[in-house]
Structure 1
């Protein structure tokens, strides 16, 4: 059984979810809304130390037709930074509709719930059986 953290990256907030390869069920964990990138990565470092994930999954946004945009590039960079700073394998998962699925929810918890949807999609589509 291995732990996996999921991230819904945003410039203001980063939603985080957790799950494991045994149950393959994602759960919202936390929303990181620190004012600086270094503070955000300090919080992520704490989460990685606590949960010791084998993989970090990052949602990869794109236009509805699949073409990339500015946030696509930023999310790829964020995934590379997770790998480079913490030595954790990263996977990118299409997140085009994750926020729409939970758009009826309230408050900042949406970011953590979107991260859970991203991570659940990873478990459903990409994780080994």
Structure 2
């Protein structure tokens, strides 16, 4: 994390082949907020136009991408796809991208949504965007 007093905006992504959850936060207040879910055009085909608009709107200085690992820390197929997603963001937008362990973020998001809204809140868009927020909040905690 930047150790100076500059406030920077960060975006966080919870990548999935169908949906990408998005959250935003500022380094000075260190609180993540859910934004939205980007629906991919087809399974695994990213909607770069929406992503481009989002990046232009928020102008982040850093992007955090949740890294899906197995509970034992090993990689899975979605881990490889997520790394490619992070690589393309860095190359396309020339923004610093950091991968951050996202283990159990979806479980935590489902728990929170169910606790405060019951079954009707357990929709993919709610889960994905809250997962992105949990990933970013976890990144803030780790990078004090």
Give TM-score, length-normalised by structure 2.
0.84
Distance between the aligned counterparts of 1:51 and 1:121, measured in 2? 20
Aligned residues: 126
Distance between the aligned counterparts of 1:17 and 1:32, measured in 2? 11
Cα deviation digits, residues 1-37 of structure 1 (max 9, x gap): 1000000000000000000100000000010014243
Runs of 5+ unmatched residues, structure 2: 1-6, 114-121
For residue 69 of structure 2, what is the aligned residue in structure 1?
Answer: 62
Distance between the aligned counterparts of 2:128 and 2:14, measured in 1? 6
For residue 3 of structure 1, what is the aligned residue in structure 2?
Answer: 9
1:71 counterpart (69, 73, 78)? 78
Structure 1 position 113, deviation (Å): 0.3
Distance between the aligned counterparts of 1:34 and 1:62, measured in 2? 22
Point out the structure with max Rg over C-alpha: 2
Conserved in 1, the CA contact under 8 Å of 2:17 and 2:40?
A: no
Runs of 5+ unmatched residues, structure 1: none
Distance between the aligned counterparts of 1:103 and 1:111, measured in 2? 9
For residue 50 of structure 2, what is the aligned residue in structure 1?
Answer: 43
For residue 137 of structure 2, what is the aligned residue in structure 1?
Answer: 120
Distance between the aligned counterparts of 1:58 and 1:35, measured in 2? 20
Aligned-CA RMSD value: 1.1
SS in 2 for 1:102: helix
